[in-house]
Amino acid sequence: MSSPLLGQATPARAPATIHPRAVSLPDRRVTPISGRSWLNQLGWFINETSMGKTGLWGPAPPQEDDLAALRASGTGAHERSIVTPSLGSISMTGADLYRLECQGCHRTDGRGVPPEINSMINPVRSTSPELVRKHMEEVGAPMDAKSVRELAKQSHAALVQRISHGGYHMPGFLDLNETEIQALVAYVEQLAGVPGAERRQLQFNEPTMRVGEHLVKATCHICHDSVGPKPSAAQMMDGEVPPLSTLVASKGLDEFVMKVTRGAPATMGVLQLQYRGRMPVFYYIRPEEATAAYLYLYTYPPESVTSPAEGSTAAAKAKITAGARDVHR
């Protein structure tokens, strides 16, 4: 059943005095990233899609004037030491999970980039009995309380299903456990202006490796294959994206974090010149999260063979996709 259209969302109110409820997560095995990038699975090129685009491109290569100024100020070295790796855990909320898992496609406000990436605001609003009831009254088709609750329940199940299994062009996130999904749902409800959602926000500690796993699997894997040969500077110029398995060897931790969070020029072409590059800047990813991605890629080297878990994702996806095609065409 398709969700009713619920008009424009009221902007989410900042929960000034309400703090997220602290919960702990069940233990979960961290697994390496495997398989081809999401765009390669779809057979798309980076320039044909809005997926993984943040709207910000890396800096142009420094000009001779900038370099001279940098040398004179002596700040170059300091500029580079921006992170200290730590293997502890990182405090996370649903909002943080949203940044790592969803924002690369759905933007900060959940509205995506229609018509390619649908807004999640209306499907999320349909999970609220209160908003469904109001909407049905507004369109002159009031519903009894039981039907309203039923409809909202179905929309909620559809949302959870969508997050776990993806959609037509949306990847699934079978790796997320129940608590993480609950935290994500509570956050997107707040984003969509569902009344009371701010009181359902959760806070938990995630092991660093797990944070890295979230970021790599959800965001970096949109464009980067898991494994493969390191492309030459000439191949990079032609549009090849270096596989995740080559990144740790190519870049030191500082350079890697810089590339992700602030952008860095890419060396490309037969003359090995510096260019602005084609990778968006993930300005909303914190240095400790990019560090976690580096440590994760180092500790769990990417695999080419799809793990049994991913095999079943593919099978589940094929089914879901068949259904989703009807909805989205």
> Which stretches of the chain bind ligand HEC, using CB under 6 A?
38, 46, 51-53, 101-102, 104-106, 116-118, 120, 123, 159, 162-163, 167-171, 173, 184, 188, 215, 218-220, 222-224, 236, 241-242, 247, 250-251, 256, 259-260, 266, 277-280, 282, 293, 324, 328
Nearest approach, Cβ of 81 to ligand HEC (angstroms)? 17
Which CB sits closer to ligand HEC, 38 or 148? 38
Least separation, in Å, of the C-beta of 112 and ligand HEC? Answer: 6
Peptide bond into 62 cis (omega under 30): no
Q: How far apart are CA 270 and CA 265, in angstroms?
A: 16
Nearer to ligand HEC, 208 or 219 (CB): 219
Residue 93 CB, shortest distance to ligand HEC, in Å, is 14
Query: Token pair for residue 17?
Result: 């005095």
Give the residue with the Cβ less far from ligand HEC, 197 or 324: 324
Provide, rounded to whole angstroms, the least separation between the CB of residue 120 and ligand HEC: 4
CB atoms within 10 A of CB 133: 19
Q: Which is nearer to ligand HEC, 74 or 114 (CB)?
A: 114
Q: Can you give the C-alpha Rg of the chain in angstroms?
A: 21
Minimum distance between the CB of residue 32 and ligand HEC, rounded to whole angstroms? 15
Per the structure block, which two tokens stand in for 141? 């088709």
Closest CB 308 distance from ligand HEC, rounded Å: 22
Return the bridge partners of 268, or none. 273
Report, in Å, the least distance between residue 76 CB and ligand HEC. 20
Of 100, 140, 106, residue with least CA distance to 123: 106
- Residue with smaller CB distance to ligand HEC, 50 or 203: 50
Which of residues 222 and 295 has its CB atom nearest to ligand HEC in the complex? 222
Our CB check for ligand HEC shows the closer of 145 and 292 to be 292
Q: How far is CA 249 from CA 159, 255, 266, 320, in A?
A: 39, 11, 16, 37
* Contact by Cβ (8 Å): 55, 208: no
Helices (H), the chain: 38-42, 64-73, 76-80, 94-101, 103-106, 121-125, 129-138, 145-165, 178-191, 208-218, 233-237, 244-250, 253-261, 287-299, 308-328
Distances (CA, A) of 289 to 124, 131, 195: 27, 35, 31
